Structure 1
Amino acid sequence: MGKAEIAMTPLQQWGEEAEDGAIYSIILHRVRAEPIANRSCQLDVSSTPECPFVQYRTCKKRLLRAATLPRLVGWLVSADVEGDRGYVPSFLATYRAFANPAQVLDLLLPLGPDKAVLHVLKLWLQHHPEDFWEPPQHPNLQRTLSFLHQSSRDSPACALAEGLWQSHKDDKEEEHRRAGAAEAEGGEPTGMGLPQVIGEAAGTGDCEETPALLSFSVDEVAEQLTLMDAELFRAVQPFHCLGCVWSQRDKKENQHVAPSVRATVAQFNAVTSCVIASVLGDLTLRFPQRAHLLEKWIDIAQRCRALRNFSSLHAILSALQSNSIYRLKRTWAAVHRDTRGAFRKLSQIFSEDNNYLKCREILLQEGGIQGSSDGWNSSQPPAGASPKVKHQTRVVAPTIPYLGTFLTDLIMLDTALPDFVESNLINFEKRRKEAVILSWICQLQDSCQEYHLCPNPSFRLAFHQHQQLSEEQSYRISRVIEPPADSCPNSPKLHRSLTKRFSSLLLGSEASAASPSPEKPGISPLGSCSSLSSEDASSTPCSPTRGLPTSKSY
């Protein structure tokens, strides 16, 4: 078999077929047939058994490209037979962009209790149990359970539904218990939801008893931040990341949309706030003492990198690149040269060059994420990913990504591709592409189970009670610490395309509208160089467009 034969792709797009309410892409799939011995080889006594020639046969596959909702649901029970193996997981991951669980059940359950329907229900209950969370009655789960009891009580899908129903009952009983305990103590009942990492009650002791955040070792800080980030990232509902959901967050009626993603954003900003306040909070520090704080945060960032926690890594770097800290030229000059070099190297991970290409390649290589089982469309990397990076077979190490990279891809897809195509059919090709990115998020979430870190209540107490400064407060303090002066040659030289704050990237106008006043603690999105005075701008170590983060939202 020649090199040209080996290089031929096993899949080839042939054309399209249109039916009433559906459009299919036709794929020709070359499948290797059983080897047949060459006749001349059989007659040649001296020939070896390794003399067969290879035969192929061509199979026709139909992939649903666009359809009405009834045809999309109907394809759930036909896709595997037709060779569209990536369809069911793609549909279950993205259908809430154009339907709700009740509508899908209305169309799916009447198709009968056959094996395909039971398989779809099993995958749905197993991989998307949140779709059946509708307290207090959980009507869709009750309806599904009733269907399974009547049709296939011994099926795996029925066992999953019963387990989910029991867990909801247990959650309700636990909630009643907590509410009763809180009422007995004169407090407010606590509700279910995301892991209590952001804004949790850290304790009732005096602030003087709270340990300083940087009194903990480098390893302890990095590991505790990683544990907190992992808890929140695993709680992210991938559907909340879809562009059609996340891009609507700024509308007044959508103030509570995508809470699982907002919690991750809040944690990112909390880390950034702690870094800025810890560096600027004590006006009595001398330059070497403040430089030591920078060095410790860079060491923590390096440890986060070793733990593959790209969320806190990005947050720490964003704080160190903020206007108020970046401009401290004399302080940076006192930082050890090797540490400054490590800072520059870490910053390159989140360079915007080629759409965050460096960060994407690291996630693919170290996180080991792979495409879905659909070998045609789903094997393509997202926008900006290197085509040279090969998908690995499994997640090889626990990894917490910077979620903004995936949110960027999903918003770009939502903007670039229409929701409907000709004849007002739902564009499922768009959903397949989105499903690939959601699949990568899910794989990384699964990898986080491999973190074996123990929570430190003292650290969380220090973290949640740490001083916070608004952007204006931090910049004023920065000018007190180092009034505008001539450029210092040892201040860090950063690339033009360094990262921005997660809040400015992801919260957009919402974050700007919520910017706190100087008298109110908090962190607002860091602005562009326009926030610098003309005197200070002239003293920055490089030009505003090359050295400072800019506020650009997507």
Structure 2
Amino acid sequence: MNENIMSASEDPEALYDDKNLKASTLKALISKLTCNDVENGFIHDCLLTYRSFTTPLQFLHELTERYRNASNEDAEMQRVVTLRVFNVLKLWIERYWYDFEKDSSGLQEGVTTFLTSTKDLPISATIKSIFERQLSGKENITSSEVIPPLYVPTKPTETLWEMKTNEIARQLTMVEWNIWKLIQPWECLNLAWTRKETAKTEAPNVLAMIERFNYVSGWVATTICNTEKTKDRVKIMRKFINIAKDLHSIGNFNGVMEIISGLNRGPVYRLKGTTSVLAEKHKITYGHWQELITLTDATKSYANLRKALREVDPPCLPYLGMYLTDINFIEDGNKNTFPGTKLINISKRRMIAETLKDIRQYQQKSYNFAEVPEIKAKLFDEQVLEDKDLYLLSNWVQPP
């Protein structure tokens, strides 16, 4: 063990690396959150991840107990603890209101009871005002200012392939944004989205985003493999590549990845006759495709995609799978308890919190595209076949 880390025998409830808390009991964690030198960044990390080792009600109980137990301390310590307890509560209510929506009955009642019991404190009145404002349900997400000109189909029979690619990209983006903005940090804890028996309740929006990704990717592959003539397949591939290009231009990296994933599916990839015609007769479109393949390359943990994401101004829609891969990697390499102890592994939670903060920062500013029902409806009603059927079609349109 690092010589700078305090051993469990010196403090059985906490392990430190210099001043950094590495592992602790829940009680010791609350003490750290309410000490004089705590940084707000550490508080945010804990509020993002505490559900991985305790419940909201238990967290609130320990927090309020910290305030009550401070009455046994000297006056200065009481003052510090009081301010810090209410600071944690303020940040929790202001920035992590989803906890109070998800567990509204017990948690809202617990906060109300605590604020009532401390109503003589000026700071308690301040927190109560914030709490009541949040209960009123004000929206915190801002949107981009300008609504682009709409493309509305002029004929009821107009197919998706006759519609403008930039409007298809916008409508795809709005469908996905309406899922993305609802993803909550608790859905990404303890790999909740991977547990089939509970994923629908513990990670509903992550699961919906994954299902949407698979749907669009499958739609791309199915449409191409289900097209008999080479010239028609080339036309459809060009359409999808141009949609992906437009998705990239509006910062929807998740949508780009969906289409590139569909184009890279085995049954599509083997259609070399189609791609060779595309490369020969439509060099510009083919070049765009290759650029998007490079952008979405998973090499070096999606290095190109991360760079592009850092350079774009919100609103944008990142590729969720990149973040889920990050969390998977952290979970695989770090135990929930600190090695050699039964203490909560705080270091692991802080690493996960960094990924959750990345997700949250791209949920703050929404797209301002208007819905076009005629296009949106078609984006939910496309045929999607499984790979075994796609291979049958692929082998039929281009025999081995």
Query: 1:278-332, CA deviations, whole angstroms, 9 ceiling, x for partnerless residues?
Result: 323343xx32222111111101111111111111100100111112222222222
User: Would you say the 8 A contact 2:219–2:384 is kept in 1?
Assistant: yes
Assess, with a 3 A threshold, how the Cα gap between structure 1 residues 466 and 253 changes in structure 2: closer, same or farther.
Answer: closer
Q: Which runs of no fewer than 5 residues in structure 2 stay unpaired?
A: 69-81, 139-154
SS in structure 1 at match of 2:246 = helix
Assess, with a 3 A threshold, how the Cα gap between structure 1 residues 414 and 344 changes in structure 2: closer, same or farther.
Answer: same
Assess, with a 3 A threshold, how the Cα gap between structure 1 residues 478 and 223 changes in structure 2: closer, same or farther.
Answer: same
* Equivalent position of 2:183 in the other structure: 236
1:221 to 2:188 alignment? no
* Equivalent position of 1:122 in the other structure: 90
- Once residues 375 and 329 of structure 2 are traced to their aligned partners in structure 1, the CA distance between those partners, rounded to angstroms, is 38
* Equivalent position of 1:351 in the other structure: 297
Letter in 2 for 1:276: A
Of the three residues 357, 361, 364, the one matched with 2:310 is: 364
- Once residues 200 and 192 of structure 2 are traced to their aligned partners in structure 1, the CA distance between those partners, rounded to angstroms, is 11
SS in structure 2 at match of 1:265 = helix
Letter in 1 for 2:301: N
Letter in 2 for 1:218: T
- Once residues 398 and 294 of structure 1 are traced to their aligned partners in structure 2, the CA distance between those partners, rounded to angstroms, is 27
Query: 1:430-464, CA deviations, whole angstroms, 9 ceiling, x for partnerless residues?
Result: 111111111111111114x2x22111111121111
* Equivalent position of 1:430 in the other structure: 348
1:401 to 2:318 alignment? yes
Query: 1:488-507, CA deviations, whole angstroms, 9 ceiling, x for partnerless residues?
Result: xxxxxxxxxxxxxxxxxxxx
Of the three residues 299, 313, 328, the one matched with 2:271 is: 328
Q: Which runs of no fewer than 5 residues in structure 1 stay unpaired?
A: 1-12, 27-61, 169-207, 367-395, 485-554
- Return the offset for 1:253: 5.3
1:292 to 2:235 alignment? yes
* Equivalent position of 1:339 in the other structure: 285
* Equivalent position of 1:468 in the other structure: 384
1:264 to 2:209 alignment? yes
- Return the offset for 1:112: 2.6
1:16 to 2:5 alignment? yes
Of the three residues 87, 91, 105, the one matched with 1:138 is: 105
5 Å matches for 1:442-453? 442-447=360-365, 449=366, 451-453=367-369
- Once residues 410 and 259 of structure 1 are traced to their aligned partners in structure 2, the CA distance between those partners, rounded to angstroms, is 17
User: Would you say the 8 A contact 1:246–1:258 is kept in 2?
Assistant: yes
Task: Compare CA radii of gyration and give the structure with the larger one.
Answer: 1
Letter in 2 for 1:404: G
RCO comparison, higher one (Cα < 8 Å, 6+): 2
Letter in 1 for 2:53: F
Assess, with a 3 A threshold, how the Cα gap between structure 1 residues 298 and 19 changes in structure 2: closer, same or farther.
Answer: same
- TM-score normalised per structure 2: 0.83
User: Would you say the 8 A contact 2:200–2:207 is kept in 1?
Assistant: no
More helix by share: 2
User: Would you say the 8 A contact 2:22–2:345 is kept in 1?
Assistant: yes
* Equivalent position of 2:73 in the other structure: none
5 Å matches for 1:23-172? 23-26=15-18, 62-78=19-35, 81-112=36-67, 114-134=82-102, 138-152=105-119, 155-167=125-137
SS in structure 1 at match of 2:17 = strand
* Equivalent position of 2:253 in the other structure: 310
- The CA RMSD over aligned residues, in Å, is 2.4
User: Would you say the 8 A contact 2:94–2:134 is kept in 1?
Assistant: no
* Equivalent position of 1:419 in the other structure: 336
SS in structure 2 at match of 1:221 = helix
Aligned residues: 360
- Once residues 254 and 469 of structure 1 are traced to their aligned partners in structure 2, the CA distance between those partners, rounded to angstroms, is 24
Paired-residue identity, %: 27
User: Would you say the 8 A contact 1:211–1:458 is kept in 2?
Assistant: no
Letter in 2 for 1:224: Q
- Once residues 257 and 17 of structure 2 are traced to their aligned partners in structure 1, the CA distance between those partners, rounded to angstroms, is 41
- Once residues 87 and 21 of structure 2 are traced to their aligned partners in structure 1, the CA distance between those partners, rounded to angstroms, is 19
- TM-score normalised per structure 1: 0.61
Letter in 2 for 1:148: L
SS in structure 2 at match of 1:468 = coil
User: Would you say the 8 A contact 1:210–1:462 is kept in 2?
Assistant: no
- Once residues 401 and 115 of structure 1 are traced to their aligned partners in structure 2, the CA distance between those partners, rounded to angstroms, is 37
User: Would you say the 8 A contact 1:308–1:400 is kept in 2?
Assistant: yes
